[in-house]
Copies of this chain bind each other. A is one copy, B any other.
């Protein structure tokens, strides 16, 4: 091979729209959450994920993968949130090397207070701006994109 298969205009539009919307949406939500509740978007996602998890607890690594953050980054954030009383660390019962992050009652309360404003912002910024068809395309297409990237990190069909 050799010659690059450049993006045509149609593809370029999709690319540019995606990348800039991604950055802007994230930034916007981060600000909304920080102003309203003093939470970063990352922290909100952590609370959210733990809250849904069974028993409100989850292994560090699994959490890191889910939230998409490096392991050390998660260690740091959980440390911060622990100081703030939103989560606790607890040893994993069946594995002495494992650590469970668990959401505290205060964490749940904070989440409940933050959720309405957050959801409203998500609607205003993204969801309600898309038509139902676009939403479906986003869910399907970007869902596939997500899965493909997640896969390649796994079985790593590295050729």
> How many copies of the chain does the oligomer comprise?
2
Contact across chains for B6 and A139 when beta carbons are under 8 A apart: no
Interface residues of A in 1-18 (CB under 8 A from B): 4-7, 10-11, 13-18
- Cβ of A155: which chain B residues have Cβ within 8 Å of it? none
Contact across chains for A138 and B141 when beta carbons are under 8 A apart: yes
* Shortest beta-carbon distance from A137 to chain B in Å: 3
Report the separation of the CA atoms of residues A116 and B19 in the bound assembly, to the nearest whole angstrom.
Answer: 18
A contacts with B, residue count (CB < 8 A): 53
* Shortest beta-carbon distance from A128 to chain B in Å: 9
* Stretch in A77-85, A103-111, A143-151 with 4+ CB within 8 Å of B: A143-151
Pick the contact of A148: B22, B115, B122, B125 (CB < 8 A).
B125
Q: Contacts A4-B119, A7-B119, A26-B22: A13 and B145 contacting too (C-beta < 8 A)?
A: no
Judged by DSSP, the binding face of A is: helix
- Decide yes or no whether A68 CB sits under 8 A from chain B: yes
Interface residues of A in 50-100 (CB under 8 A from B): 68
- Decide yes or no whether A154 CB sits under 8 A from chain B: no
- Cβ of A143: which chain B residues have Cβ within 8 Å of it? 13, 16-17, 21
Not counting A13-B143, A125-B149, a sample of 16 additional A-B residue pairs whose C-beta atoms are within 8 angstroms of each other reads: A4-B115, A5-B119, A7-B123, A17-B138, A17-B140, A17-B146, A21-B145, A21-B149, A22-B26, A24-B149, A25-B145, A25-B149, A129-B145, A134-B138, A134-B141, A135-B141
